[in-house]
Amino acid sequence: MAVAKSKVRLKFEPHPKDGIYDKAPPDPKVDLFVFEDGGGLPKDRLPQFKDRLRSGTFEKGGGFRSSAFKFLRVAMEGGAEVVPGEMTGSRAEQAKLSALDRRMGDELSNATFETHMWNIKDFFDAYSAFYTERHRLIRRTIRDGVAAGSKVEARYGDTHSILSKELTEDGIETERQMEPTLMGWNTSVLRRRMRGVGRDEIPEIDYKRGFVAFMTEAYLPTGWSIGAKSGQINAGTVKLASLVETTMIEKLPEPTLDNILETKDFAAITEESGFPLSIKGRTRPRAIEKWLDANAKDHPEGISARFWKHLSKENRKAILSG
């Protein structure tokens, strides 16, 4: 259903499971600032959420809300209405989102315990159902803001960058800000399912790649693949690690993926892919560049190689400096 035209500013950046790095406040002209909160929030609890934000309750709590604390409060103090995109209209709607989240967790447990293809597909079914519901709520929140005449800015992790296409389909004009990023295999499979590609239309090797990618992203420390320490992590580090890990996984033959899934030794993607991980700390950018160049030469048709080859010299330098 088309709504009145109003350009919505969308900012997407890579971020780890435990927070975000873009602390810049929204445009001072923004009336409605929409932020990511995957757990959802019933609309009738929004006043309490804002009270906690004003009081600083989230500042030391850790996790996603804590990392968002400063710029959210700045947005509020600047006069913007601050709302989670995943705001639910009723307790029943919140219960639905929570049930989908639990189902995703249950299917992940099943697939982790027994990494059979059927279980992995079940997991991605649940993963896509949860994200599809999240996007339905986010789109509604943004549509309602636009319909009310608000100038809207939304800030999300880059996994959600298909929101720009979805909002265009809703008749909403968007302005998108996002650096070149190679998504993980888990995001690749997730997006195909969200866009209507059938469960059995996706190659099984991509499901295997996707599940290995999900497990490394979810359970290994952010930046582990390039030897980054916790104090060295920023948005650029996450972007570089995503490129490296996606390339690692793509380089692996299917029997190796099968072995990793069976043994659950997900960190083995480093050794098996020939990545030059430094034993003294973070791998040097030049070593990573040489490894990516060699992969592009040896596997020119791969998505990792195509992404790397099409980057400008400036963008390559920016990613490697992550």
pLDDT string in tens for the chain (322-residue length): 444 456 899 999 887 666 666 667 778 889 999 988 889 999 999 999 888 877 766 655 555 556 677 778 888 888 889 999 999 999 899 999 999 999 999 999 999 999 999 999 999 999 999 999 999 999 999 999 999 999 999 999 899 999 999 999 999 999 999 989 999 999 999 999 999 999 999 999 999 999 999 999 988 988 889 988 877 778 888 899 999 999 999 999 999 999 999 999 999 999 999 999 887 778 999 999 999 999 999 999 999 999 999 999 999 999 998 7
What is d(CA 192, CA 64) in angstroms, rounded to the nearest whole number?
Answer: 26
What is d(CA 158, CA 167) in angstroms, rounded to the nearest whole number?
Answer: 15
The DSSP bridge pattern shows strands 41-42 and 174-177 to be unpaired
Q: Say how many C-beta atoms besides its own lie within 10 A of residue 294's C-beta.
A: 12
Spell out a b/e string for 95-114, using b for 16 or more CB atoms within 10 Å of the CB, else e: eebeebbebbeebbebbbee
Region of residue 214 (left: phi > 0; alpha: psi -120 to 50; beta: else): alpha
Entry pTM:
0.92
By CB neighbour count within 10 A (0-12 exposed, 13-18 middle, 19+ buried), where does 119 fall? middle
DSSP-assigned beta bridge partners for residue 82? 33
Contact 133, 160 (CB under 8 A): no
Q: Which helix (H) or strand (E) holds 35?
A: strand 32-35
The DSSP bridge pattern shows strands 152-157 and 32-35 to be parallel
Concatenate the DSSP letters of all residues of 168-230 into one string: HHTT--EEEE-------HHHHHHHHHHTT--TTTS-HHHHHHHHHHHHHHHHSPTTGGGT--G
**Radius of gyration (Cα) for the chain, nearest Å?**
20
What is d(CA 120, CA 270) in angstroms, rounded to the nearest whole number?
Answer: 22
Selection from 219, 281, 273, 280 nearest residue 250 by Cα: 273
Question: For residue 190, which phi and psi values (nearest 5 degrees)?
Answer: -55, -45
Q: Looking at residue 1, what is its pLDDT?
A: 47
Residue 114's Cα: distance from chain center in Å? 25
Half-sphere exposure of 10 (CA within 13 A, CB side): 28
Concatenate the DSSP letters of all residues of 120-144 into one string: HHHHHHHHHHHHHHHHHHHHHHHHH
